[in-house]
Structure 1
Amino acid sequence: MEEDIGRALREARKAQGISLRALAAETGISASLLSQVENGKSQPSVSTLYTLVSRLRISLDDLLGLDADESPEPSPQQHDAEPAGANRAGLILQRAAENPVLTMDGGVRWERLASFDDGLVEALLVTYPGGASSSVEGTLMRHSGFEFAYLLEGSLTLALEFDRYRLGAGDSFCFDSTRPHMYVNQGREKARGLWYVVGRNAADHTRERLADLLGRVAGDSAANPANVVEVFRRLGAEGLATDG
């Protein structure tokens, strides 16, 4: 299911009483581009989208127009199976056909995967077509939270501050998203991977605890800072999943 990014951004802006020109001035995005995005005439790049949602303080679910109390209707093939969106004993079940989709500039595609509605984790299946980038202007982006990712196929270049990392299928990484970064697919084949953005919309005290926890994991000689399983195990032990 494809969603209208522009309409959601426009509604969020108007709900907060912010004029288009004021938002453009605050974010450094031209009023012309912002107008085109809001009217569906142009798709934002990943960096532009992050800039806007960070300023408007909206979640991915807000952008997709998802109501936590509503479950998607099951597809015809699912009538005899557990319905999409089923929540039993803490289980969120989301069928592949019901993945909300955002398509951005250059064809970069986000599929929102199953996640709890506490705002702590944004789970995404991300696709970068050949030649696509998270910023068409070539500028690095930054936003709150921590990124964990695993590349399923293809290759991708991560620019993190002054360093460049060539990533291939099977590679995984994580970093503090407040560090300037950008993704570029320099090849012809698509690159696809799993992304978990942790704490982008969490309360300030939760982000502070996440930063402290990741710092301790990185400083622990018995732990690999790139070990996502270990980080999430410790997140559970710290009880962070109930915060925010």
Structure 2
Amino acid sequence: MTAELGGRIREARIARGLSLRAMAAEADISPSLLSQVETGKVQPSVSTLWAIVTCLGLSIDEVLGHSPASREPLRVEHPNPIQRARDAPEIVVENGVTWRGLAVMDPNVDAVLVTYAPGAASSPDDTHMRHPGTEYGYLIRGELTLKIDFETYLIRAGDSFCFSSSRPHLFRNDTDAVAEGVWFVAGRAGAASARSAPGPVRDAVDALDAMSRLPRRVGG
């Protein structure tokens, strides 16, 4: 199993045009450890495996060779290009963040209107998160603090951002006013996180997983 797992990781890395050193840097592990994983000499820990598959844009099931039922988001094209406000799916995160799904047909894109209440954050304990994909956003009103790796940025209304979601990141509203913006996550939809089963929506990764499981329809 270890050799098969390592082989799949190596094949996926090469298919994405990543060198051993480049991928190790992105996953925040040493090149020697990644090499040992790929050659089957080392069984990776759960955290190491999660970091690797996140960089590759894969799921745990895919690198383990499982063949689960399709996880493709249920997006159905409709003749009417308009999604009415009453039909927008809504997900409320435990820590004061609300996600409303926007009209989208591409199964590789999640489009959401995100609202951060005063004091809300993308994870309840200020944990930096990472997941497959690229994150784009535009802040409509309010202010948000965005932390990526070891850098901190203040985002104000009218500002936009873009970064690889595989980098550890956190959004937080440190003000006493509501912050709201439009977020797009590309390349993540359909990729299951390491959290195997649906449960309470505690943070942004849970919200992305929940959004991917919702039936989506444009128009109606």
State TM-score, norm by structure 1: 0.48
Does the CA-based 8 Å contact 1:60-1:122 persist in structure 2?
Answer: no
In the alignment, the residues of structure 2 paired with residue 202 and residue 61 of structure 1 have an alpha-carbon distance, to the nearest angstrom, of 5
Contact kept? 1:140, 1:182, Cα under 8 Å: yes
2:109 maps to 1:114: no
Q: Aligned match of 2:122 in 114, 130, 134?
A: 134
Q: Within 5 A, what are the aligned runs for 1:71-220?
A: 87-88=78-79, 92-116=81-105, 118-201=106-189
Deviating 4+ runs (over 4 angstroms): 54-62
More helix by share: 1
Answer yes or no: is the 8 Å Cα contact 1:108–1:128 preserved in 2: yes
Q: Residue 113 and residue 60 in structure 1: after superposition, are their counterparts in 2 closer, same or farther (change >3 A)?
A: farther
Quote the offset at 1:120 in angstroms: 1.6
Q: Distance in 2 between matches of 1:97 and 1:55?
A: 35
Structure 1, gaps ≥5 residues long: 1-24, 28-49, 70-85, 204-244
Q: What secondary structure, in the 3-state scheme, does the structure 2 residue paired with 1:126 have? A: strand
The code of the aligned residue for 1:161 comes to: D
Q: Return the alpha-carbon distance in structure 2 between the equivalents of residues 59 and 130 of structure 1.
A: 38
Residue pair 2:146, 2:152 contacting (<8 A) in 1 also:
yes
Contact 2:138–2:159 under 8 Å retained in 1 = yes
Q: How far did residue 60 of structure 1 move?
A: 9.8
Give the match's secondary structure for 2:81. Answer: strand
- Residue 183 of structure 2 aligns to a residue whose secondary structure is strand
C-alpha contact (below 8 Å) 1:111/1:125 kept by paired residues: yes
TM-aligned CA deviation for residue 136 of structure 1: 1.3
**Alpha carbons of structure 1 residues 93 and 152: separation in structure 2 relative to 1, 3 Å:** same
- C-alpha distance in structure 2 between counterparts of 1:60 and 1:192, whole Å: 29
* CA deviation map 1:180-219 (0-9, x unaligned): 100000001111000010111379xxxxxxxxxxxxxxxx
Q: Give the unaligned 5+ runs of structure 2.
A: 1-44, 48-53, 63-68, 192-220
Paired residue secondary structure (1:93): coil
Report the TM-score, using the length of structure 2 for normalisation. Answer: 0.53
* Partner amino acid, structure 2, of 1:114: A
Deviation at 1:111, TM superposition (A): 0.3
Seq. identity, %: 42
Contact 2:135 2:185 in 1 (8 A): yes
Equivalent residue pairs, number: 133
8 Å CA contact 1:158, 1:167 repeated in 2: yes
CA deviation string 1:122-149 (max 9, x = no partner): 1000001000011112110000100110
The code of the aligned residue for 1:178 comes to: S
Checking the alignment, whether the CA contact within 8 Å between 2:96 and 2:121 is kept in structure 1 is no
Task: Give the Cα separation in 1 of the matches to 2:72 and 2:127.
Answer: 26
Instruction: Please say if residues 120 and 172 of structure 2, whose CA atoms lie closer than 8 Å, have aligned partners that are also in contact.
Output: yes
Alignment RMSD: 3.2
